[in-house]
Amino acid sequence: MLARVRSEKVMYVKAVEELEKSAQRIEGLIREFEARRKASASARTAPAGEGLARLKGRLGWPTEGDVVALFGRQKHPKFETYVQRKGIEIRAGHGTVIRSVSDGVVAFADWMRGYGLLAIVDHGEGFFSLYAHASKLLVGVGDSVRGHQPIGEIGDTGLTGESTLYFELRQGGEALDPLAWLVRRR
């Protein structure tokens, strides 16, 4: 029993390390997207989602379901280890629609280790939203999207072993607590 728990903990720690590497890759991608946007600012100031900052607390939810993991430092109940979450995890049925939280342009749409199928939407002014663990993406790089537009379907590619959407909001390289930006549910 103890050997099994130790083995599970080693696997968990390795998975967390992989996620941290992937998170660093995402941060690099966002810096690259932002640098490109700034370089082309003379041609166009921002994607269609310009003005996301004024929508704090009023963004639509990216999917239906229950939040099962919160933003920030979280302690794993079984392994007593901590992880810094840069987003939230929303449990929903396999195939449930994933929707863009606001207007923007798809900056990334592909598979990434630790995240599965991942879409990143550039909302302008340095704001990006990330949607991971999709079973299917309905958009491609360069596509313009509207708020509430379907962009994918939820899968079960995460560490939880269940169908979830991992969702992040970022401004530049800084992760923002999505719950502060999404409209309150009743």
Per-residue pLDDT tens for 43-71? 444 455 456 889 999 999 999 999 999 99
CA–CA separation, 63 and 101 (whole Å): 9
Q: pLDDT higher for 41 or 51?
A: 51
> Is the pLDDT score of 179 beyond 60?
yes
For residue 26, pLDDT beyond 80: no
Q: Which residues pair with 89 in a beta bridge?
A: 69, 166
Paired sense of beta strands 150-154 and 127-137, if any: antiparallel
Torsions phi, psi for 3 (to 5 deg): -65, -40
Q: What is the DSSP string of the chain?
A: -HHHHHHHHHHHHHHHHHHHHHHHHHHHHHHHHHHHHHHTTTT-SS-TTTTGGGGTTTBPPSSSSEEEE-SEEEE-TTT--EEEESSEEEE--TTPEEE-SSSEEEEEEEEETTTEEEEEEEEETTEEEEEEEEEEE---TT-EE-TT-EEEEEB--STTSS-EEEEEEEETTEEE-HHHHBPPP-
List the chain domain ranges.
Answer: 2-181
What percentage of residues in the chain have a pLDDT greater than 90? Answer: 53
Write down the pLDDT at residue 49.
45
pLDDT in tens, 142-176: 999 999 999 999 987 655 578 999 999 999 789 99
Let me know: does 62 contact 101? Beta carbons within 8 Å. yes
pLDDT at 82 over 70: yes
Residue 15 has pLDDT above 80, yes or no: no
Q: If you average pLDDT over every residue of the chain, what do you get?
A: 83
Architecture of domain 2-181: Distorted Sandwich (2.70)
Q: If you average pLDDT over residues 130-140, what whole number do you get? A: 96
pLDDT value at residue 149 = 98
Q: What is the pLDDT of residue 25?
A: 74
